[in-house]
């Protein structure tokens, strides 16, 4: 490819950038500049003064009339036969282009380069230097140079397109900008291995190849060409030309990741104060050194977004932001979520059209799980409300949930998500997008809860926007609630209870429960629920330890290990007051053991009373007389069995013992 800008070709044929015409009636050695005036070095006195801007040209009528149709009309159609002065106020290209056109009319050599060709082409069209007046006129010459030299060179196409910024609408009407954009897009989509033209992004020690020794010094042979080699060159263009180039590149099928990277590179160069990290107020905006205001040309025109209060620089920035939003590829992950959020911040600051802001919010919702807290803290530029735009985050969350529901209903997307989950599990990060967004929302709520102007309703709506399955642990939500209660000490008991309903006490960790048990800002009912849930978890842990652990080992060792693990993963704020809370828990356990022992004693007393009652309720038919005789008979049997070898004395004694009762019975009868 030819690099006509880097090498000025003089004294050669037209195809190398030099041409002249000898069909004139003047012998001249050239033009001479004296102060702010140009003079023709000839013996014939001039008879025409042409003023272009601040520069005066002292010329002759005949050479101009033979080449310019506009000069013919101005001179012959004028009622003044002695017209000697013409003023061109709107000539494209200015005095530089008219100087070259005048030299061509006098038959002097004109050196065409990428820097002057666009202005000269527009000036030739303005002066009507067409083939109708003379064959090989200036319009034909410049058009041929554009087609055969400029459009075949990467760098010349960039330079010409850059120079078209000052030539609107002539460059647009003559299709110069469109043809250069197509040429740039075609070369940007080429295979990097086959690139044989110079570009800005390459190392400085590699010289630019010339058209005549291109085969020996092509970048493809000397160095590795990265896929983003064209970013830096394209980023010097004005936003309307950049949009045109990116649109042409999209049509040619370039990967959306590269297009998104080029857009981010352009934004970082033209909007450094808005796109880069850091706080920025609307009244402290500063424009990049590359930006400038322009009139006409192709750029985004959004109806209903005029604001006279914005400065010219701010309006230029708004045009850039609106244009970048419109050309971001629709595919997910084409640009980073952080870039989209910073672009959204700039859009809100510059009061971009609502339709474009809504579209940008949807794009952020598609990949909200990739956002960070710093990017999500977008200021609220309505000074009468909260410091941060909580409503904006609420809308982003709604777009995220809609997108998640759409993705889950798609079979192909669901299989892709399952694959991602499988890979994420093996990498040690098995958090799904909803869980990551839940952590992000909890952190955001903790940050914005310190704002005293934040309504509790907005806090609740944002906290309850995600489903319960998104949070496996409510520690972050408890931290946000505690921060809100600390910043709003005037809340009533009912309001505090209502606020705490967004939190599930059973999802709190051990240390969060310890902190909540001694938190005076929480309602008493919530503290009781926390203690109860903690007691239930302790009981379940003991039961599992007894069931699963080997009896030969210490039964409390798993609890100690889990306690250490929980303490290591718990914030320092939840570990404060550990000794006091531990004493309270031990006291509750001691009281519970006492209640259990009393219950056992009462059960034993109840059983004794029941047995006594059963004995008393049974009937007893025997009298006192029969019981006495039974006792006497038992005694007689025992005596007979044990003393069967005793003599008559014992038997006499027995008989003696038996006789008195009979006499007693006889006496009774």
- Look up residue 54 and give its two tokens: 């601040």
Picking from 494, 497, 499, the residue whose alpha carbon sits closest to that of residue 464 is 499
Domain that holds residue 124: 30-152
Average of per-residue pLDDT across 174-195? 88
Average of per-residue pLDDT across 567-584? 52
pTM: 0.69
Least confident of 46-50, 419-423, 545-549: 419-423
- List beta partners, residue 87: 51
Is residue 45 pLDDT above 60, yes or no?
yes
DSSP 379: B
**pLDDT value for 393:** 93
More confident residue, 40 or 323: 323
The Cβ-side half-sphere exposure at 468, using a 13 Å CA radius, reads 7
Classified as helix, coil or strand, 175 is coil
Domain end call among 118, 152, 186: 152
| Longest distance between any two alpha carbons in the chain, whole Å | 194
Picking from 411, 402, 460, the residue whose alpha carbon sits closest to that of residue 434 is 402
Per-residue burial over 516-550, b if 16 or more Cβ lie within 10 Å, else e, is bbebebbbeebbebbbebbeeeeeeeeeebeeeee
More confident residue, 409 or 260: 260
| Cβ count near 151 (within 10 Å) | 20
- Look up residue 382 and give its two tokens: 């309505």
**pLDDT value for 360:** 94
H/E run at residue 631: helix 624-642
The beta strands (E) that lie in 69-179 are given as 85-88, 110-111
Picking from 242, 5, 297, the residue whose alpha carbon sits closest to that of residue 145 is 5
- List beta partners, residue 18: 111
- Look up residue 543 and give its two tokens: 């039961």
H/E run at residue 616: helix 578-617
As to burial, measured by CB atoms within 10 angstroms (0-12 exposed, 13-18 middle, 19+ buried), residue 7 is: middle
If phi > 0 it is left, if psi is from -120 to 50 it is alpha, else beta; for residue 521 that is alpha
- Domain membership of residue 202 (yes or no) is no
- Domain membership of residue 454 (yes or no) is yes
CATH code, domain with 145: 3.30.710.10
Cα–Cα distance measured from residue 69 to residue 492, given in angstroms and rounded to the nearest whole number: 87
Q: What is the pLDDT of residues 460-483, one digit of tens each?
A: 999 999 988 888 888 899 899 999
Cα–Cα distance measured from residue 51 to residue 609, given in angstroms and rounded to the nearest whole number: 129
More confident residue, 174 or 644: 174
- Domain membership of residue 562 (yes or no) is no
Is residue 669 pLDDT above 60, yes or no?
no
**pLDDT value for 36:** 83
- What phi, psi does 571 have (nearest 5°)? -60, 155
Domain end call among 113, 128, 152: 152
Per-residue pLDDT band at 381 (split at 50, 70, 90): confident
- Domain membership of residue 73 (yes or no) is yes
Picking from 581, 529, 541, 533, the residue whose alpha carbon sits closest to that of residue 565 is 541
- Look up residue 607 and give its two tokens: 């059983």
∠ CA 239-245-247, nearest 5°, is 100
Q: What is the pLDDT of residues 326-347, one digit of tens each?
A: 999 999 889 999 999 999 999 9
Cα–Cα distance measured from residue 448 to residue 459, given in angstroms and rounded to the nearest whole number: 9
Is residue 25 pLDDT above 70, yes or no?
no
DSSP 208: P
**pLDDT value for 481:** 92
**pLDDT value for 528:** 81
Helices (H), 192-311: 219-222, 231-234, 239-251, 256-270, 272-275
Per-residue pLDDT band at 368 (split at 50, 70, 90): very high
396 in Cβ contact with 364 (< 8 Å)? yes
Q: What is the pLDDT of residues 211-224, one digit of tens each?
A: 333 333 345 445 67
DSSP 134: S
- Domain membership of residue 281 (yes or no) is no
Cα–Cα distance measured from residue 516 to residue 88, given in angstroms and rounded to the nearest whole number: 82
Picking from 62, 23, 67, the residue whose alpha carbon sits closest to that of residue 45 is 62
Per-residue pLDDT band at 425 (split at 50, 70, 90): very low
Question: Please, what is the average pLDDT of the chain?
Answer: 75
Picking from 55, 61, 17, the residue whose alpha carbon sits closest to that of residue 35 is 55
Per-residue pLDDT band at 548 (split at 50, 70, 90): low
- Domain membership of residue 66 (yes or no) is yes
Is residue 150 pLDDT above 50, yes or no?
yes
Is residue 361 pLDDT above 70, yes or no?
yes
- Domain membership of residue 658 (yes or no) is no
Cα–Cα distance measured from residue 435 to residue 369, given in angstroms and rounded to the nearest whole number: 9
Average of per-residue pLDDT across 196-207? 54
What torsion, rounded to 10 degrees, do the Cα atoms 299, 305, 311, 313 define?
-30
Cα–Cα distance measured from residue 424 to residue 163, given in angstroms and rounded to the nearest whole number: 51
- Look up residue 353 and give its two tokens: 């059209």
- Number of domains present in the structure of the chain: 2
Cα–Cα distance measured from residue 99 to residue 111, given in angstroms and rounded to the nearest whole number: 12
121 in Cβ contact with 142 (< 8 Å)? yes
| Cβ count near 43 (within 10 Å) | 7
Picking from 2, 18, 17, 8, the residue whose alpha carbon sits closest to that of residue 208 is 2
How long is the chain?
669
**pLDDT value for 445:** 94
Q: What is the pLDDT of residues 290-306, one digit of tens each?
A: 334 333 333 333 434 44
| Cβ count near 211 (within 10 Å) | 17
Cα–Cα distance measured from residue 160 to residue 177, given in angstroms and rounded to the nearest whole number: 8
More confident residue, 3 or 363: 363
- Domain membership of residue 480 (yes or no) is yes
- Look up residue 224 and give its two tokens: 């590795």
| Cβ count near 235 (within 10 Å) | 18
Domain end call among 152, 183, 218: 152
């Amino acid at each position: 490819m030819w690099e006509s800008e880097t090498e000025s070709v003089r004294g050669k044929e037209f195809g190398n950038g030099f041409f002249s015409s000898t069909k004139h009636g003047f012998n001249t050695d050239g033009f001479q500049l004296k102060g702010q005036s140009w003079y023709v070095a000839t013996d014939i006195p001039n008879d025409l003064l042409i003023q272009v801007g601040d520069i005066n040209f002292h010329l002759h009528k005949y050479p101009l009339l033979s080449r310019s149709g506009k000069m013919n009309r101005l001179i012959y159609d004028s009622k003044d036969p002695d017209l000697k002065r013409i003023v061109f106020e709107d000539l494209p290209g200015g005095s530089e282009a008219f100087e070259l056109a005048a030299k061509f009319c006098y038959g002097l050599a004109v050196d065409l380069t990428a820097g002057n060709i666009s202005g000269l082409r527009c000036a030739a069209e303005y002066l009507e230097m067409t083939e109708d007046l003379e064959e090989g006129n200036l319009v034909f010459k410049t058009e041929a140079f554009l087609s055969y030299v400029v459009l075949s060179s990467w760098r010349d196409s960039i330079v010409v397109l850059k120079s078209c910024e000052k030539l609107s609408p002539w460059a647009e009407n003559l299709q110069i900008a469109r043809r250069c954009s197509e040429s740039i897009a075609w070369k940007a989509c080429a295979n990097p291995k086959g690139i044989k033209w110079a570009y800005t992004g390459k190392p400085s020690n590699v010289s630019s190849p010339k058209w005549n020794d291109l085969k020996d010094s092509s970048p493809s042979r000397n160095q590795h060409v990265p896929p983003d080699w064209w970013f830096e060159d394209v980023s010097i263009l004005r936003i309307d030309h950049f949009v045109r180039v990116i649109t042409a590149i999209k049509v040619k099928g370039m990967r959306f990741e590269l297009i998104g990277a080029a857009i981010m590179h352009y934004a970082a160069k033209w909007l450094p104060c808005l796109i880069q990290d850091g706080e920025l107020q609307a009244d402290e905006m500063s424009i990049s050194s590359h930006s400038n205001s322009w009139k006409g040309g192709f750029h985004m025109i959004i109806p209903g977004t005029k604001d006279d209060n914005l400065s010219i620089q701010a309006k230029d920035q708004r045009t850039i932001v609106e244009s970048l939003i419109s050309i971001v590829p629709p595919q997910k992950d084409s640009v980073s979520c952080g870039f989209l959020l910073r672009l959204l911040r700039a859009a809100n600051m510059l009061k971009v059209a609502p339709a474009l802001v809504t579209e940008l919010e949807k794009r952020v919702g598609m990949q909200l799980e990739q956002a960070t807290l710093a990017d999500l803290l977008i200021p609220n530029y309505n000074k009468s409300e909260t410091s941060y735009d909580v409503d904006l985050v609420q809308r982003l969350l709604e777009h995220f949930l809609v997108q998640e529901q759409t993705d889950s209903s798609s079979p192909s997307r669901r299989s892709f998500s399952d694959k991602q989950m499988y890979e994420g599990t093996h990498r040690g990060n098995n958090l799904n997008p909803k869980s990551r967004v839940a952590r992000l929302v909890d952190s955001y709520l903790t940050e914005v809860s310190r704002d005293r102007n934040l309504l509790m309703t907005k806090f609740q709506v944002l906290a309850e926007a995600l489903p319960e399955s998104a949070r496996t642990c409510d520690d972050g939500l408890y931290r946000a609630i505690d921060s809100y209660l600390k910043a709003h000490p005037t809340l009533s008991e009912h309001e505090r209870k209502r606020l705490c309903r967004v939190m599930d006490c059973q999802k709190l960790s051990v240390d969060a429960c310890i902190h909540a048990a001694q938190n005076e800002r929480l309602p008493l009912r919530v503290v009781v629920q926390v203690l109860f849930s903690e007691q239930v978890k302790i009981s379940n842990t003991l039961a599992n330890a007894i069931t699963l652990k080997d009896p030969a080992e210490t039964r409390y060792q798993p609890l100690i290990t889990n306690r250490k693990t929980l303490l290591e993963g718990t914030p320092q704020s939840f570990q404060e007051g550990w000794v006091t809370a531990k004493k309270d828990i031990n006291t509750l356990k001691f009281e519970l053991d006492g209640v259990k022992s009393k219950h056992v004693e009462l059960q034993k007393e109840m059983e004794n009373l029941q047995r006594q009652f059963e004995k008393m309720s049974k009937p007893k038919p025997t009298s006192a007389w029969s019981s006495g005789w039974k006792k006497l008979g038992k005694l007689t049997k025992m005596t007979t069995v044990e003393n069967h070898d005793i003599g008559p004395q014992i038997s006499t004694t027995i008989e003696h013992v038996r006789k008195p009762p009979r006499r007693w019975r006889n006496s009774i009868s």
